[in-house]
Structure formats: structure tokens, C-alpha cells
Amino acid sequence: MALHGLASALPRPIGFGQSTSLDKEQLLAAEDELKVLGTWRSPFALRVRLALNFKGLGYEYLEEDLDNRSDLLLQSNPVTKKLPVLIHNGVLICESLVILEYIDEKFAAIGPSLLPADIYERAMARFWATYIDSKLVAQWLKMFRANTDKEKAEATRETIEAVEKLEGLLSGSAEGQSKKPFFGGDDAGYIDVVLAGMIAWMQGTKELCGVELLDAARTPLLLDWMERFAELDAAKLIMPDVGNLVQFAKVKRAKMMNQN
């Protein structure tokens, strides 16, 4: 899938994590050109930016206007035409979870690892990442876009169930382990980054869908985790504003309904 001859200007990385000092590790990253194509509200693009920030990798972030897609995007991802796309020295990687594993493996020598070293724990991390996408994200979208009460009720039930399972994961009750500050343990890792893409969307659910996904009684650990995660250096500057997200989603949904 490599797109040869992709013209690109000299990189002027503006992403968080771009260092100015010149120690060996960062020199490695400075020779690499990393670009991320995404939108500010995409949970999937956010994952990629978080991962790069965690690793301390500099990159150029390019905000895409989906109503007016850039040539770069159209050339980059002919297969799924979706965002995000990571472009590393002209080489293209698509699909957020694929990109995350690529970043972790390609830049294994730089910064912390996203995935656990232990093989079994790594399988667990992949399992929960798939779960987040196939259960939480997919059902959330169904709930948000539901046309009938019945559809909405079912999707809501499934979404809440997924949220509760993730709360259970933090409490350690699912695995028989003790409570931990992050899904990755003492430090944030793969699952944290994968779920973090949905934080603002989950926080906006009450206003968007009239559904209380998060509350102090049922999901205290997730609420703590969200606060803790948002304060991390890697996350601070790039988490989208919930109000803006909600506003965007309302406008988008109204547009879609007017089209039907």
C-alpha cells in the first residue's frame, strides 16, 4: 500500500512532544517524518496522537475537512478512505489499532511501550481493545443514530453494559487483580489510549442521547480515570472540548436527519 512519489514539504512538526534538545533518542525521531491525518473530533485520530505523544515522538498533525478532503487523504487511503492515517517517511498506515501497534513496534527503542511486555498480558490488551471497538464504540454509534425507540433502547443497554465491563476491568474484579490507576497498571498503556479516544464522547452522552453513561455511583473508577488521564502531559493539550464535540454532533445529526 506504499504510495510512491508522495510529494511532501519538509516536515515542520507542530505536534505535542516535539523536542528541541538533541539527545540520541530524539535525533532518531527528528530524522523520521511523521504525519497524522485526522479530525479533532475523531476518537480514532485522538488515539494515534496520544500514542505518539506518549512515546515522545514529534509529528505534524493535519486537520482534515471531510467536506473538502485533501488530495493527500484521497491518495493516502484509497481502500477505506477513512481517517486517521499515519504517514511515516511517506509510508502509509491506516486503522487506528493497526497504527498503534505499528508505532509501538517501529519505535520500540523510544519512550515507554504501549503494549505490555508479557505475552499473555499483551493478548489481554488486544482483547479489550477489540472489545472497546466492537462493543462500546459500535453500540454507542447505534445509540446515537437510532431511528426508533426500540433500536435506541437496545443499543443503550449494550453501551451501558460495555461501560460497566470496563469499570470492572479497572476495579480488577474481572481479572481477580487489585485496583489500578490505569488500565495499563501504574502507568497508562494501550487500553488507556484506545479508550481515551472516547472520553469526551462518553462525557457528552447525557446531552446527546439523554443517557447517563457515567455517574459516581455506578462508574466511580472510570470517572477518576478520565480525570487522571486528561491530566497526563501526553493528553492535556489535545483532548477535545466536550462542549464543542456535543455542538458538532448535534449539528451533524440534524443535517443527517434533514437529508432523510
Q: Is 1 in the site for another protein (CB under 8 A)?
A: yes
Residue of 41, 142, 145, 165 interacting with another protein (CB under 8 A): 165
**46/100 with CB nearer another protein:** 100
Candidates 3, 6, 30, 91; binder of another protein (CB under 8 A) is: 91
Quick one: DSSP state of residue 241? P
* Binding letters toward another protein, positions 18-57, x by CB under 8 A: ----------------------------------------
Does 200 contact another protein by CB under 8 A? no
Which one of 70, 130, 177, 247 is in contact with another protein (CB under 8 A)? 130
Left if phi > 0, otherwise alpha if psi is -120 to 50, otherwise beta: which for 38? beta
* Residue in 3, 11, 25, 106 binding another protein, rule: CB under 8 A: 106
Residue 131 interacts with another protein (CB under 8 A)?
yes
Nearest to 34 by CA among 82, 90, 81, 111: 90
Sole residue written with cell 445509540: 143
101 makes contact with another protein (CB under 8 A): yes
In this chain, which stretch among 99-107, 179-187, 230-238, 241-249 interacts with another protein, using CB under 8 A?
A: 99-107
* Nearer to another protein (CB atom), residue 174 or residue 211: 174
Distances (CA, A) of 163 to 130, 166, 183: 14, 5, 13
How far are the Cα atoms of 64, 93, 134 from residue 84, in angstroms, in the given order? 9, 9, 18
In terms of residues, how long is the chain?
Answer: 260
Strand-strand pairing, 34-38 and 91-94: unpaired
Is 173 among the residues that bind another protein (CB under 8 A)? no
Q: How far is the CB of 222 from another protein (least distance, A)?
A: 17
Rounding to the nearest 10 degrees, give the CA dihedral for residues 117, 238, 132, 48.
Answer: -50
How far is the CA of 13 from the CAs of 1, 123, 218, in angstroms? 24, 33, 42
What is the rounded end-to-end Cα distance, in angstroms, of the chain? 36
* Residue from 69, 122, 180, 228 binding another protein (CB under 8 A): 122
Residues forming contacts to another protein in the complex (CB under 8 A) are: 1, 79-80, 88, 91, 93-95, 97-99, 101-102, 105-106, 119-120, 122-124, 126-127, 130-131, 165, 174
